Amino acid sequence: MRAPYWVIGYETDGELFGKRSNDDFSVDGVIFYTISEDVDLDVLKRLSGAAKARSLEIMEPFETIPFIAAELNSSISLLTLLKRIQHSICSILSAEAASILVHAGDHLEFLVTEGGASGRIESIPVPMESIAGTIFLEEKTMIFNDLMEDKRHFKGVDKAAKFVTKNILGSPIWTGEKKFGVIEVLNKDGGFTKEDAQLLEKFARLIGRKLYSTVNSERMKKLIKEIVLAITSAIDKRDRYTHEHSRNVARISVMLGRKLGLPEKELEDLEISAMLHDVGKIGIPDSILLKPGRLTPEEFDYIKKHTVFGAEILSKLKHATESMIAGALEHHEKLDGSGYPYGKKNGEISLFGRIVAVADIYDALTAKRVYKKEWTKEKVLEMFKEDAEKGKLDEKIVGILEELIKEGAL
């Protein structure tokens, strides 16, 4: 019987077959070593009989590489992709860490995952004279088992990452004919071997295109976000808000959405919806929007239309989802029907509408403005609780906001 590619070793009665890894699962008296923390235990249960009989065959590392690469070709975020790449290559090569650098003009820079050195190394430009730079420029897989003697070792990263690099195996990453970056695997007891180098080279070749397209789509997403932010800060400024208002509403909405358990894709949509919640104000004339003093009922009715204008603008975007549009349309609705523009009630108001409503009021009241003093968090929360009790605001969302305040996140 053959084990799936993600099982790289097993141990039964103290005897080891294949290799050990950092992810081990004990099933029916057999310890299985895998290249993922996230495995199907039922599959391992089915394999345990063959393992005990010592007849379970483990794939050679070379054979597993195409399977790993094929799995990376599903649609996943850059963060997940990097984590999987690092995790699997470290398990297969018995290395401590792995990093990926991309070429950026006259230097290389790190693509980072969460935890570890994240937040400390991504802004460090790695010079082309470094080891990573040498691998990139010479276009070949290289082993550096004696770093003490090597002047090319760039110590700036170790210092920032609070990490001690002992040895490095690195390979250039290609996308078709174009050189794109470098993958480095660090710290293997006893040093890296020629076989390790062949494995990494094969791996680097197979992940190149996927990595390149994911990095680019992530950059495009960032660019879109920056454009949206530029538009919203222009709108906020016109309306006497600080330019941070829309950004804050987006940040708070995402925090609320995350605690509500929304999946990552919906959180991205929510962020855009919240950033653009007041985009419809573009259609309100200055004479009304900027009028000092009290508005007439007719003028206020006109202001209310910013929700409808906003929904109209967003619905012209081909990729805007219904929830995104609803966030702009319904952020002034109240659950008891006393809001605007339509006086929608309870279940008629979308989740995005209810979330953005709470985030919008929270930021508007707690912020200091030229024309008003800021409210304390406690005072806003008290008002929110009263409004939730009266059936105006969503009780669950207000509860989550309270949690965020208590945790010090807001």
Beta carbon of residue 379, minimum distance to Fe ion (angstroms, whole number): 21
Active-site option among 281, 334, 344, 392: 281
Active site residue 194: no
Binding span for Fe ion by CB under 5 A among 151-159, 189-197, 274-282, 367-375 = 274-282
- Does 184 bind Fe ion (CB under 5 A)? Our answer is no
Residues 103-132 that bind Fe ion (CB under 5 A): none
Nearer to Fe ion, 11 or 278 (CB): 278
Total number of residues binding Fe ion (CB under 5 A)?
Answer: 1
Contact pattern from residue 310 through residue 349 relative to Fe ion, giving x for each residue in contact according to CB under 5 A and a dash for the rest: ----------------------------------------
Nearer to Fe ion, 103 or 332 (CB): 332
Nearest residue (beta carbon) to Fe ion: 278
- Does 278 bind Fe ion (CB under 5 A)? Our answer is yes
Beta carbon of residue 278, minimum distance to Fe ion (angstroms, whole number): 5
Cα(10)–Cα(18) distance, integer angstroms: 7
Beta carbon of residue 259, minimum distance to Fe ion (angstroms, whole number): 23
Beta carbon of residue 364, minimum distance to Fe ion (angstroms, whole number): 9
Nearer to Fe ion, 278 or 330 (CB): 278
By the criterion CB under 5 A, which residues form the site for Fe ion? Answer: 278
Question: Which residues are identified as catalytic?
Answer: 281
